[in-house]
Amino acid sequence: MEERITDDAEEESVTSNSDGGQSADKNSEQNPEKAKKGSIVSDFLFAFVLTFFLLLTLVMIGTRILGYQMLTIDSGSMEPNMPVDSLIFVKQTDPSTLKKNDVITFTIDVEGTLVTHRIVSVRTEDRTFITKGDANNTNDAPVSWSNVVGKTELCLPKIGGLFRVFTAKENRVYVYMAIGILAGLMILWIVLDHLKKKKQTKKETSISKEKTPGKT
């Protein structure tokens, strides 16, 4: 009787251990899949953020190299062609090559306040332009050729507001701080992701060794 009870107990113990082992095996097979999916998502987010900032940097540097300035439209004087919060690309241009209907950006005071309006006439005798906003009823005061910043080559509506946030002088400290924090988070993300993958590789290797039958 004692032997039968002992055998039954051992049998139950073995069965229980066998079930537990199967459950552990299933979890070990499912966890790598979850970890893999999480890794793909994290890699995508990292690549997206990195690409965004790289493109923004390249655009800002590239436009300068090519002789362009990126400016934003702050008033409705050029609507509907250039609505408020449009981003415009202004290229440095020889004033003598400008003509009627060209849209130019120019300064109107010693502080360097910029205005972007359309040329309605060219006065070569005194080297000035007469300009007017498309939505305005009257012409501007004559604009000296020396005050011309450049010709507006491209207008992108609605994205000027975002650009203004990144480039405004009062926001530069916060922008630099945000870039620094994002850069730090990216580096931390890379390190943690590397450690996680390394740990997962070791775990999978360990499980593989346990499943491999030993030689007799």
Beta bridge partners of 160: none
| Integer Cα distance of 123 and 93 in angstroms | 17
Q: Which helix (H) or strand (E) holds 212?
A: none
pTM tops 0.75, yes or no: no
Query: Mapping DSSP to helix (H, G, I), strand (E, B) and coil, where does residue 216 land?
Result: coil
In 143-185 the beta strands, taken as DSSP E runs, fall at 143-144, 148-156
pLDDT in tens, the chain (216 residues): 444 444 444 444 333 444 444 444 445 445 556 556 666 766 677 677 777 777 777 777 777 788 888 899 999 999 999 999 999 999 999 999 999 999 999 999 988 999 999 999 999 999 999 999 999 999 999 999 999 999 999 999 988 887 777 766 677 677 778 777 877 877 887 788 778 878 877 777 776 666 665 554
* C-alpha distances out from residue 22 to 10, 72, 102, Å: 18, 64, 77
Contacts of 138 (CB under 8 A, 6+ apart): 132
| Integer Cα distance of 105 and 161 in angstroms | 18
Q: Residues 195, 198, 202, 208: what is their CA dihedral angle, to the nearest 10 degrees?
A: 140
